[in-house]
Amino acid sequence: MLAIVCPGQGSQTPGFLAPWLELPGFRDRMSWLGAVAGLDLIGHGTESDAETIKDTAVAQPLIVSSGLVSLLALFEHPSDGFRSVAVAAGHSVGEITAAAASGVLTAEQAMVFVRERGRAMAEASAATPTGMAAVVGGEADEVLATIERHGLTPANINGAGQVVAAGTLEQLEALKADPPAKARVIPLQVAGAFHTHHMGSAVDLLAGHARAISTHDARVRLLSNADGHVVQGGHDVLRRLVKQVSSPVRWDLCMQTMLDLGVTGLIEIPPAGTLVGLAKRAMPGVETLALKSPDDIEAAQRMIREHGTADAADNPVHAASTPAPRLVIAPSKGSVELEPVAAGDTVDPGAVVAHVSTLRDTYDVTAPHGGQVIEWLVEDGDPVSPGQPLLRLHPLSR
């Protein structure tokens, strides 16, 4: 089972785009997405220095566009990716890349959304001097307690012994002077306290834009930063993209869901390296590849052949996107408790039809589009896995 993962801000380095421009069509596609974003993305990806591409308004469109265009080098036709890739996930802004690659947004919609996201987050960052720092090592509970003691937010819980703290520069300096035992504090090349309350104004702006964006359901299992759950409906994906700007990224839970699903191969698209580093420590036994340059394409295509899904029918989320019937899927691993809904009943869009319980939490399962119940595919109390079909619905005409 193959996963494609998309990196977030801080993964960009000066000149990382240069080798990709040798591929046929790559420059033209980047120029087009740059026109949509209103930025010289080629110039920023090849000539701009580290300080320039650290700017949130530049970094975010650059990361999303380079990821989307490089993906086209792996598949002759975009639909080939839907037949081969079982799981997609993105870290922070990379979640926009993953949403577009999964068919929820068009590339142009993704670029407009990330353009506005980057600008709004840059403006929010300018209001108060803020930043982020990685805390590597230490005991997990003590790390979180120390971060909170200094008034910071654990903005990224990345797993593999890494938590990213975010807050004011003074708070980060205090953390560096008084770190958790056996932990290192490493400042990150980002220009704000992302995924914290400092980004509240950006959330408000993006929520307004989101009301005007049309979406499609994800055509592969798309994991959410919020909780590692498989997300099915396009509207839910977009709502989560807005909310995650001021909410912590739980990449540790995304990696756990990939393990629960049985992922055997993981490819990180450009600018690659960070997420593969985390996966090597937290996902033992999973083959990984950081797609850093065109020299890595042959290895990536070999992994697609060996780990990819051979038949689209094997992917229940892909099957769910066909016109009829529709499937309601489990968001996470756990045991299922069914609502009193029977064959022939009609459920409204967004209605809760079941619950999935873990040892710690219980999560609602909703029917994104509603419809008439054809049949349950599980029984009350059954163990379920992320993305497993639970209920078959026949869509009703509007």
| Ordered domains of the chain (ranges, CATH) | 2-124+197-313 (3.40.366.10), 126-187 (3.30.70.250), 323-394 (2.40.50.100)
Q: What is the pLDDT of residues 238-277, one digit of tens each?
A: 999 999 999 999 999 999 999 999 999 999 999 999 999 9
Lowest mean pLDDT, pick from 51-55, 142-146, 264-268, 323-327: 323-327
pTM given for the model: 0.86
The three-class DSSP label of residue 292 is coil
Over residues 80-84, mean pLDDT: 86
- Torsions phi, psi for 13 (to 5 deg): -135, 150
Over residues 153-180, mean pLDDT: 94
Asked, as a colleague might, if the bond just before 129 is cis with ω within 30 of 0, I would say: no
The three-class DSSP label of residue 369 is coil
Q: What is the pLDDT of residues 303-316, one digit of tens each?
A: 999 999 754 445 55
What pLDDT is recorded for position 359?
84
Q: Where are the alpha helices (DSSP H) in the chain?
A: 26-37, 41-46, 50-54, 56-72, 78-84, 94-101, 107-127, 140-149, 169-177, 200-210, 234-243, 251-261, 274-282, 297-307, 316-320
Q: Give the whole-angstrom CA distance, residue 2 versus residue 86.
A: 6
Share of the chain above pLDDT 90, in %: 82
What pLDDT is recorded for position 394?
85
Over residues 197-217, mean pLDDT: 94
The residues assigned a catalytic role are 92, 195
Over residues 123-129, mean pLDDT: 90
Tell me the average pLDDT of the chain: 92
What pLDDT is recorded for position 311?
47
Asked whether 389 and 328 are in contact (CB, 8 A), the reply is yes
Share of the chain above pLDDT 70, in %: 95
